[in-house]
Amino acid sequence: MKELIIHEAFWQLFPEGRINVLVVKNINNQQTIDSQPLLDQASTNALSFTQEESWTDNPVISQWRQAYQQFKTKKGARSSIEALLKRNKQGHPVKSINPLVDLYNVISLTYGVPCGGEDLAKIDGNLNLGLAKGGESFLPLGAEEDSPALAGELCYFDNTGAVCRCLNWREAQRTMLTDTTQEAILLIEAINNEQAQRADEAILHLQELVAATLGVKGEIYHLTPTNTTITL
């Protein structure tokens, strides 16, 4: 059995942190669904998180910028929620990719939280969130060359290498969700209590959307400083 293990290093950096998880199995991610209305509505809702004229005065942006100063990062790395909100603010609509990715993008935009997902079958051994030793293999989405993790970088990794670098910045091609994915782990991260409240609402909504859209009710887990490991 595989496990998701959140290492002590994460909790030391973010003692109010929370990782919400939805594990979904027996999925048909090849279904044809019309996600665009959901994505469009979520994009409209997301504008509420970027109302300040100065970009870094928006709390979602400033909080994650500060978080990324707490560990080693690749130059220019930003939280996935910042990238998504920036794209949205600039008027670039989020387009449909595949059902699971579409649904977590809907939730990310709606609640202003970073969401991501991995194909469980492609995870080699346990999935860990902790500090990289440095040199962990990582082929980014859309790239052709290896871009290894840095020593001291907070990232997800398994026995083969890095799965998602700089916490939630960029994911690997190796474990990405595709239309052939049948088992998935979907993650929502929070680094303080206010974010955790939104993340708790978000994971419930994500569970509902997956059930309504794909016909499978996933199982929710909450990882906290007193509950740091789950069996997937």
Residues 41-71 pLDDT 10s: 999 999 999 999 999 999 999 999 999 999 9
The model's confidence at residue 87, banded by pLDDT at 50, 70 and 90, is: very high
188-to-59, 143, 146 alpha-carbon distances in Å: 17, 25, 26
Contact 96/36 with Cβ under 8 angstroms?
A: yes
Which pLDDT value is given to residue 223? 98
The pTM (predicted TM-score) of the whole model is 0.96
Specify which residues 3 forms β-bridges with.
Answer: 231
φ, ψ of residue 36 in degrees (nearest 5) = -60, -40
pLDDT in tens, 183-220: 999 999 999 999 999 999 999 999 999 999 999 999 99
What residues have CB less than 8 Å from 70, skipping those under 6 apart?
A: 13, 14
Type of residue at 140:
P
User: Which CATH number fits the domain 3-231, given the four candidates 3.30.559.30, 3.10.450.50, 3.50.40.10, 3.40.50.150?
Assistant: 3.50.40.10
pLDDT of residue 93 exceeding 90, the answer is: no
